Amino acid sequence: MSASARENLQKSLGAIAAWEPHIGAFLDITKDEAERQVAALESDIALHQQPLAGMPIAIKANIATQFGRTSASSKILKDFVSPFNATVVQRLLGAGAVVVGKTQHDEFAMGSSTEHAGLGPQTKNPWDISRVAGGSSGGSAAAVASTEVEAALGTDTGGSIRQPASLCGVVGVKPTYGRVSRHGLIAYGSSLDQAGPITRTVRDAAKIMEVISGKDPLDATSSEVPVGQYAALCGKPIAGMIIGMPKEFFADGIDPEVKKIVTDAIMSFEEQGAVVKEISLPLTPAAIAVYYVIAKAEASSNLARFDGLRYGIREDIHASLIDYYKQVRGEGFGPEVKRAIMMGTYALSSGYSEAWYGQASKVRTLIRREYEQAFRGVDVIAGPVSPEPAFKLGSKTSDPLAMYLADAYTVPASVAGLPAISVPCGMAIKGPPNRRVSLPVGLHIIAPHFQEETMFQIAAAFESAHEFQNLSPELPQ
């Protein structure tokens, strides 16, 4: 096992050296720390028996680690190294995983393309480096897709694990809200944020979920619901299970090729004895508005702590306190974060809080109830992850609304707090006739609260029947 761990690390570092000049997935490579972790595996017999022993893993840069910067890809935290590890990181290390670096993402996890990063390289899609890797966990998804690491942690507030996983052709899991501790995550929307795995196979995602899930006394929102044996359900038959297919997930706005690929993928469950049933979720169009009011309002509150005094960059500025705040936050935050702060502050301001945040919270309850009603007749709900494959770099950066709509199919599950997974289900052919490219498409599977077992069982059944996990991008020339 120790030799394997060292070989795995060398293989990972070799892939990083080959791929990083092309895709920019990492902010920091923690080679020395990774070698120390491998040495610990070699000397500690007990670690040899851990479920993730020797697995090279990357961590999104908004998750606290005592090694590498926890910068949230923002200038305001550009040199911050955490004095502690996030609970999810500590659990990974305890299970024998080897952390090789911190991955790039949209600043403070606000974005759908990793084009809003405040530090480091522009992350690109390994399948076509002229296209986005998705976001906000684009670096984590690109690192896994290019085999730089076997797995990575991302965070998902409204789709930030699932959407980049779909665009990069890997598996991405958003757990039930409260299933995984948020201790050590730099908060974006506190009632929405969850950490989760990005992997090449459903079984690996299930194994990591077993490690990072469970009650944490350091996070009051974490749940005491027992953690299931997720990996054991992978490979179990799904005959007789009912797959709900909402008609609202296939309405106007979805790319025709994506629509066909995802529809065919869902109907293929019938070959394994499952039943596909059309359902309706009428409140789906309202989810985007609800999500962005709640997320931006919570972001404006969470980001107030980054003032250059308690957290963040310190400047030698001889000015009043207000002028100091203006200069530090003006220089430290990027445009998307500033937009979020302004939107959220307005939604929470006197005279508007009930009309915006309060009303959004009420509609959120209705969306949750709509899903609860739907799950009385189906085991899971399936549809597309993204309305289109990976889009061209720069094609949406000047249109925030178009960027927000990239999450149209992922935010409903986030608003309702449900577990969901993206599984590769096909390849779309895009580009001009002289430069056709194959781009991954993801299948979105949503399960009831704390029913990750069912989600993994159905996702693994699809994966085993189609084996899209065996497809890999080629190293750019």
Domain boundaries, the chain: 1-477
CA atoms within 13 A on the CB side of 437: 20
pLDDT (0 to 100) of residue 56: 98
| Cα(160)–Cα(410) distance, integer angstroms | 9
Instruction: Give bridge partners of residue 72 from the DSSP assignment.
Output: none
Q: Pick one of 3.40.50.300, 2.30.42.10, 3.90.1300.10, 3.40.47.10 as the CATH number of 1-477.
A: 3.90.1300.10
pLDDT band at residue 315 using 50, 70 and 90 as cut-offs: low
pLDDT (0 to 100) of residue 366: 98
Query: Which residue of the set 74, 82, 113, 136 is catalytic?
Result: 136
pLDDT (0 to 100) of residue 2: 43
- Tell whether the model's pLDDT for residue 317 goes beyond 80: no
- Taking alpha carbons only, the member of 198, 188, 195, 221 closest to residue 72 is 188
pLDDT (0 to 100) of residue 124: 98
- Tell whether the model's pLDDT for residue 467 goes beyond 60: yes
Per the annotation, the verdict on 160 as an active-site residue is yes
Tens of pLDDT along 56-103? 999 999 999 999 999 999 999 999 999 999 999 999 999 999 999 999
pLDDT (0 to 100) of residue 310: 76
The secondary structure element, H or E, covering residue 473 is: none
pLDDT (0 to 100) of residue 1: 42
The secondary structure element, H or E, covering residue 26 is: strand 26-29
Supply angle C-alpha 150, 86, 330, rounded to 5: 100
- Tell whether the model's pLDDT for residue 206 goes beyond 70: yes
**Mean pLDDT across the stretch 413-440?**
95
Query: Which residue of the set 12, 60, 82, 124 is catalytic?
Result: 60
pLDDT band at residue 3 using 50, 70 and 90 as cut-offs: low
Q: Which of these ranges, 51-60, 360-369, 406-415, 460-469, has the smallest mean pLDDT? A: 460-469
Residues in Cβ contact with 65 at an 8 Å cutoff, skipping those fewer than 6 apart: 30, 59, 82, 85, 86, 89, 99, 102
Nearest-Å Rg of the Cα atoms of the chain is 21
* Residue pair 410/163 in contact by the 8 Å Cβ criterion: yes
| Cα(126)–Cα(232) distance, integer angstroms | 31
pLDDT (0 to 100) of residue 404: 86
**Mean pLDDT across the stretch 297-323?**
84
* Residue pair 142/105 in contact by the 8 Å Cβ criterion: no
Average pLDDT, the chain: 95
Provide the 10 A C-beta neighbour count for residue 283.
20
Query: Which residue of the set 74, 112, 137, 160 is catalytic?
Result: 160
- Tell whether the model's pLDDT for residue 313 goes beyond 80: no
- Tell whether the model's pLDDT for residue 343 goes beyond 90: yes
